[in-house]
Amino acid sequence: KNEVEQSPQNLTAQEGEFITINCSYSVGISALHWLQQHPGGGIVSLFMLSSGKKKHGRLIATINIQEKHSSLHITASHPRDSAVYICAVGIKAAGNKLTFGGGTRVLVKP
Amino acid sequence: DGGITQSPKYLFRKEGQNVTLSCEQNLNHDAMYWYRQDPGQGLRLIYYSQIVNDFQKGDIAEGYSVSREKKESFPLTVTSAQKNPTAFYLCASSIESHRVRTDTQYFGPGTRLTVL
């Protein structure tokens, strides 16, 4: 079993819809990261969080440490949000090594 | 502009040849990393370096080698010993070396290596 699991693997939405991507992990972590990878391959860091909630524009990330779960929400989705969203965790027991989920491929149709 | 550059974007090599992927950053970051990405899989750490002239093996270091002679440069050599070298390779850097890998990492655009 992977230490970081994302769901769904693929998601298709209509422009304007609210999107939620989930990330579950099975180990003690120091921080959780949400990353965005565009079709060209480049990766951008969206959020790093260790508790609570963060918001940036139409993106919201939440984490529940007790339940070992994080969600990334996209409000009023737009075709330019189409990308792969990757969850990564810093694992305490491994010297804060970053372990990555397999990613969620999001397609927003106009 | 500050950032991380990787070159080339696409690289083709014959089986059995060594190949070196370039990674340069002008962010003045101490720590640099190399990851490999395969279709449908999460990124996996190959090597990382927290400081000049020092580097550590990641999870899948076999068949790879690195050097860190300058703060801004962290080249990765894919050797002929790497059994399945065809993949997308991403370089990253972060500001705080003493906190290892929990800091925000800044990624380069990647190099897609295809071994024929």
What is the distance in angstroms between the Cα of B63 and the nearest Cα belonging to chain A? 21
Query: Does A98 sit within 8 Å of B105, measured CB to CB?
Result: yes
B39 touches chain A (CB under 8 A): no
Query: What does the pLDDT look like over B68-80, one tens digit per residue?
Result: 999 999 999 999 8
Q: What is the pLDDT along chain A (110 residues), one digit of tens a residue?
A: 678 999 999 999 999 999 999 999 998 888 899 999 998 888 999 999 989 999 999 999 999 999 999 999 999 999 999 999 999 998 776 666 788 999 999 999 99
Which percentage of chain B shows pLDDT scores above 70?
92
Report which of A61, A64, A4 is spatially closest to residue A34, judged by C-alpha positions.
Answer: A61
Query: Does A100 sit within 8 Å of B100, measured CB to CB?
Result: no
Distance CA A91, CA B41 (A): 18
Query: What does the pLDDT look like over B9-23, one tens digit per residue?
Result: 999 999 889 999 999
- DSSP E strands: which ranges in A1-110? 4-7, 10-14, 19-25, 29-37, 43-49, 52-56, 59-64, 69-74, 83-91, 97-100, 104-109
Q: Three-class SS of residue A94?
A: helix
Q: How far is CA A17 from CA A6, A48, A72, A78, A105, in A?
A: 20, 24, 14, 8, 16
Residue B101 has pLDDT above 70, yes or no: no
Distance CA A107, CA B106 (A): 24
What is the per-residue pLDDT for A62?
97
Distance of CA A68 to the CA centre of its chain: 13
Q: Are B23 and B4 in contact (CB under 8 A)?
A: yes
Give B1's pLDDT tier (boundaries 50, 70, 90). low
Q: Which residues from chain B sit within 8 angstroms of residue A96, using beta carbons? A: 99-102
Which chain B residue lies closest to A104 (C-alpha atoms)? B40
Q: Which of A10, A98, A100, A105 should one mutate to test binding to chain B, selecting the residue with the greatest count of B CBs within 10 A?
A: A98
B44 touches chain A (CB under 8 A): yes
What is the per-residue pLDDT for B64?
97
Q: Which residues from chain B sit within 8 angstroms of residue A97, using beta carbons? A: 45, 100-101
Which chain B residue lies closest to A38 (C-alpha atoms)? B109
What is the per-residue pLDDT for A94?
66
What is the distance in angstroms between the Cα of A39 and the nearest Cα belonging to chain B? 11
Distance of CA B51 to the CA centre of its chain: 15
Q: Are A83 and A36 in contact (CB under 8 A)?
A: yes
Q: Which helix (H) or strand (E) holds B20?
A: strand B19-25
Q: Which token pair is A90?
A: 């810093």
What is the per-residue pLDDT for A40?
81
